[in-house]
Amino acid sequence: MSFEVHWEDLQNDVALNAQIRDKLNSFFGSLELPSYLNHISITDFQIGSHAPEIILHDISEPISGINPNPSGTDENDLQLLFEVKYDDDLQLELNTSLVLNYPSKEFMALPINIKVRFVSLHILCLIGIFNKGKRIVFSVLCDIEDQNDSTRRQSIGDLLKDKVGSPLERLAIIKDLSIETEIGSDASTNLSNDLQINDDDTLSELSYSSNPNGATLRNVDKLEQFLVEKLKNFLRQEVGWPSWLTFELDDESSDESDEDDSGNE
Amino acid sequence: MSFKFNEDVFRDNSFNEKIKEKLTSALNKGFHSDSNTNSNSNPNSNKIDLNQYDFNDTNKHTEKADILKSKIIVKSTDFPTIPKFEILDLDINTQPRSLVKGICKIIVKDAMVQLQTVIESNLLLVNMKNSPMFIKPKLIENNSLEIPIVMTFSQISLEAISNIFVKNNSLSISFNDVNLDFNFDCSIKILQNTIERRLKDSMHLLFKDVLPTVLFNMSQSWFTNNHNNSTSNNVNHIPPQLSSSTTSSGTILDKSNVKKNGKSSLPKTVFDEVDLQELSPKNMVRLSTIVSSRHTLSLHGTSGLHSMASIPGCLEKQNLYRFISRMPSLSNYYSAYRTGVTSDNNNVNNANNQMNCIDSQHYSHDNNFLPERVLREKKYDLNQIIDIQNKLYERSAADENEKPKRRTIKLNRKHKKRQENIESVRQSTPTFEKFNLPKLTDESKKSTVTVNNNKIDDEVPSPRTNVPPHMIFNENIEYFTEKDHSLLFDTPLHTNEITDPEKLPNDIIRSIDIKDIKINPKKRINSLGSGSKRISFVGINNLYNNNGWKWGNEDNTTVLPPPPYRL
């Protein structure tokens, strides 16, 4: 059973993009950043042009153990098995800067600009609803292979990239993420573009701009791979099975009940 | 790309003030301003040591000639133009170790530094302080003449290209192309040329040797200090003396002195965990055992479709692809449903023959994907998928203490505010809860998705919780021909005592004393977060560990004895 999402309505809603962006900004603003990062701000956010495909495969009883702190009423607990496919140009632009606080505060700063252009994922995920909707548990079970994945895999880009990770990496979650990075002060005009061949035959583009501060480095491949890998690892650790996210919806103001039990084997 | 310097700092005088203070204290580190060296005492030997002006040598003996009669005071500094620091190229490597390589260019123009000090100008001064009485001549005049001197370095321009390597715990810089030029003005004109020449000579050494060393040691102590002080909020602040600290991330060996770092902090050699791990003596012993047991000229390892190796518990390299193709992964388990471009080739893609033939198609992929057809045709088995993912997780969990994360986010409807339980993302996150997995369904009920609510408790395992190896992939495949499966199910796991000798299979060598056989209480594959790290061959543990032999080591991984002690 698949869901129909009226994406066009969402897409045309400019206010929605702005709202999501502000929410993300306030979230990042509330984070305690390490001292070498100055700020993280989202300058642009746009939902892509196509809706994700959501297919509900199964509604069943939750598997045992997925409900932390079960509290009695088990009859109405549900478990949904979802398939989500998203293959679209979500755009997100993130600005941050690395700072050196010696000898004085913000003595040297390196601005970094990251643009996410394209996200593709196809996952099977599990959602458990407990306690009459008060607790939702979400986890990503596995990736799903499309029909055309086996051809895509042999593309030149894949051969050039480093195959990191062990074979049979159990979860990738993000199949493809296209990132553009720009390191150095944001320059508006480009005077010349230099293509440089790196040691491992990847190309990175160096643009020299009229910026008085000097060169701006764009599309550093290695950095992009590094970021994508970090993001994949992060997602895999947080929501990839057997880890999961628990959302507690409280009607009253939440009491700080301790949710993490110390592990015992 | 370039760094942006904080312009305000340069515009007002605060930068200059700070630099003055720091330079002053740095230049006077080795200066002992005790009463022995003030102007009243008899000065020292005849040697004129113009190397005093060299910034490198701040450690001078008090016995030698101290031309410097007072501290070196930085009178003023000036940086009218903001220096530029550009990164020309950046290369980031995460494998095998995190390494960042960069090429940077630093440009400083029109800087000015002015130093002031007092020097001894009576070159005929004789130091008779420590000489014995009988050689002391009678001198009429032996007084010192101290002259203040002011040195001005103006129009300092520096243009250097440097390679920067950032590894785990340290920062190495090498300067390749240094253009340093300055105008030197000295209040004592006689000395001007000499000083200028010597300074320019030693600048070369400074960039080649001194600066890289100093930066390396400083970065090392800073990084390791950061590991120590988890609560320090002065992350970007140069740490104080660290000579006797140890760190959790490695071992530190103290070596020799280094200068110009404020205090004389000792450089350290920091060993990575990775370096030490590779030298495990246990592993070396095991490896040498296996190697020596394999000395044979026979070729029979390559024969047979089902054998992985002649030694049980081992995998021969030429059979690796077979092993990988039979590993429990979603793509292997559901390989029948994978349709590719190659369906028109004569590759066998039938559902039944999959596991029995060598299909290079299986080997070439390395992604653990669930084929889409499985979902479309509703042929999935949720428990099976969960089980496979669990197994892969355990296999890949490098750290024994790594537990799955169970983060909780509280969404408050009234306040519409999100409060996150932000736990530290380090591996010691104690978020594991007791987790009961469903049992694998029995052979006969394989097609239905049933959930058994058997509470599988770790401490008291029920006997029949082993997964029989052939259930894991496919009925047709067994890793090793096993004579007696019933042995698996009858042996309880939690016994620490000696097994019943009658239960052992018949062809066990009887010369080994029964008392030496111990069975380790093993955690089953099914339980999550179990502490022991096993040999990650699915099926091996169940086949052998229950009545397996302990061979030389007391930890949980068992290595089987070399032939002919086979079961």
- At B565 the pLDDT is 54
Residues of A in contact with B343 (CB under 8 A): none
More confident residue, A217 or B65: A217
Do you know the residue count of chain B? 567
A15-19, B91-95, B486-490: which has the highest mean pLDDT?
Answer: A15-19
**In this structure, what token pair is assigned to residue B233?**
């909020």
- DSSP bridge partners of A112: A96, A183
Q: Point out the residue among A65, A145, A250 whose CB comes nearest to the CB of B338.
A: A145
- Which of B406, B411, B423, B530 would best serve as a mutation to test chain A binding (most A beta carbons within 10 A)? B406
Residues of A in contact with B159 (CB under 8 A): none
H helices of B206-265, in order, are: 211-228
- pLDDT tens-digit series, residues A99-108: 877 767 777 7
Return the minimum-mean-pLDDT range out of B17-26, B220-229, B403-412: B220-229
Residues of B in contact with A168 (CB under 8 A): 324, 327, 329, 366-368, 392
**B409 to A102: CB separation less than 8 angstroms, yes or no:** no
**With a CB-CB cutoff of 8 Å, which residues 55-114 of chain B face chain A?**
84-95, 105
Residues of A in contact with B370 (CB under 8 A): 124, 142-145
Distance from the B420 Cα atom to the nearest Cα atom in chain A, whole angstroms: 10
Comparing alpha-carbon positions, the chain A residue that sits nearest to B6 is A107
Measured CA to CA, the distance from residue B54 to residue B178 in angstroms comes to 18
Residue % of chain B over a pLDDT of 90: 0
Q: Is the pLDDT of residue A243 over 50?
A: yes
Residues of A in contact with B366 (CB under 8 A): 163, 167-169
- At B472 the pLDDT is 40
Full DSSP string of B388-427: HHHHHHHHH--STT----EEEEEEETTTTEEEE-----ST
**With a CB-CB cutoff of 8 Å, which residues 231-270 of chain B face chain A?**
233, 235-238
Q: Is the pLDDT of residue B544 over 50?
A: no
A141-155, B347-361, B402-416: which has the highest mean pLDDT?
Answer: B402-416
Q: Is the pLDDT of residue A92 over 60?
A: yes
Comparing alpha-carbon positions, the chain A residue that sits nearest to B408 is A246
Q: Point out the residue among A65, A103, A253 whose CB comes nearest to the CB of B412.
A: A253
Measured CA to CA, the distance from residue A55 to residue A83 in angstroms comes to 5
Which whole number is the average pLDDT over B440-452?
37
Q: Is the pLDDT of residue A50 over 70?
A: yes
More confident residue, B523 or A138: A138
Quick one: how many helices (H) and strands (E) in chain B?
13, 11
Residues of A in contact with B407 (CB under 8 A): 238, 243, 245-246
- At A66 the pLDDT is 77
Per-residue confidence at B66, pLDDT binned at 50, 70, 90?
A: low
H helices of chain A, in order, are: 7-11, 14-30, 149-152, 156-160, 221-239
More confident residue, A77 or B362: A77
Measured CA to CA, the distance from residue B258 to residue B252 in angstroms comes to 16
- At B137 the pLDDT is 83
Per-residue confidence at A252, pLDDT binned at 50, 70, 90?
A: low
Distance from the B81 Cα atom to the nearest Cα atom in chain A, whole angstroms: 12
Which whole number is the average pLDDT over B345-371?
47
**A248 to B410: CB separation less than 8 angstroms, yes or no:** yes
Amino acid at B393: Y
Measured CA to CA, the distance from residue B517 to residue B551 in angstroms comes to 10
B165 Cβ under 8 Å from any chain A Cβ: no
Coil/strand/helix, residue A20: helix
- At B229 the pLDDT is 61
Measured CA to CA, the distance from residue B490 to residue B413 in angstroms comes to 54
Comparing alpha-carbon positions, the chain B residue that sits nearest to A62 is B451
- At B562 the pLDDT is 58
Measured CA to CA, the distance from residue A104 to residue B14 in angstroms comes to 9
Per-residue confidence at A184, pLDDT binned at 50, 70, 90?
A: confident
**B396 to A63: CB separation less than 8 angstroms, yes or no:** no
- At B334 the pLDDT is 77
More confident residue, B35 or B213: B213
More confident residue, B40 or B471: B471
Q: Point out the residue among A61, A166, A168 whose CB comes nearest to the CB of B451.
A: A61
- At B552 the pLDDT is 41
Please name which of B436, B496, B486, B434 lies closest in space to residue B464, comparing C-alpha atoms. B486
Return the minimum-mean-pLDDT range out of A84-93, A172-181, B197-206, B347-356: B347-356
Residue % of chain A over a pLDDT of 90: 0
- At B522 the pLDDT is 41
Q: Point out the residue among B91, B406, B412 whose CB comes nearest to the CB of A250.
A: B412
Per-residue confidence at A43, pLDDT binned at 50, 70, 90?
A: confident
Residues of A in contact with B458 (CB under 8 A): 265
- At A197 the pLDDT is 56
Distance from the B54 Cα atom to the nearest Cα atom in chain A, whole angstroms: 24
C-beta separation of A247 from B411 below 8 A? yes
Per-residue confidence at A83, pLDDT binned at 50, 70, 90?
A: confident
Distance from the A89 Cα atom to the nearest Cα atom in chain B, whole angstroms: 23
Owner of token pair 């250097």: B160
Measured CA to CA, the distance from residue B184 to residue B186 in angstroms comes to 7
Q: If you average pLDDT over every residue of chain B, what do you get?
A: 62
**B365 to A248: CB separation less than 8 angstroms, yes or no:** no
- At B463 the pLDDT is 43
**ipTM of predicted complex:** 0.72
- pLDDT tens-digit series, residues B477-535: 434 434 444 444 444 444 444 444 444 444 444 444 444 444 444 433 333 433 344 44
Residue % of chain A over a pLDDT of 70: 71
At residue B99, φ and ψ (nearest 5 deg) are -145, 130
C-beta separation of B267 from B220 below 8 A? yes
Q: Point out the residue among B89, B431, B436 whose CB comes nearest to the CB of A260.
A: B431
Measured CA to CA, the distance from residue B153 to residue B23 in angstroms comes to 14
Domain borders along chain A are 7-64+73-248
Measured CA to CA, the distance from residue A2 to residue B373 in angstroms comes to 16
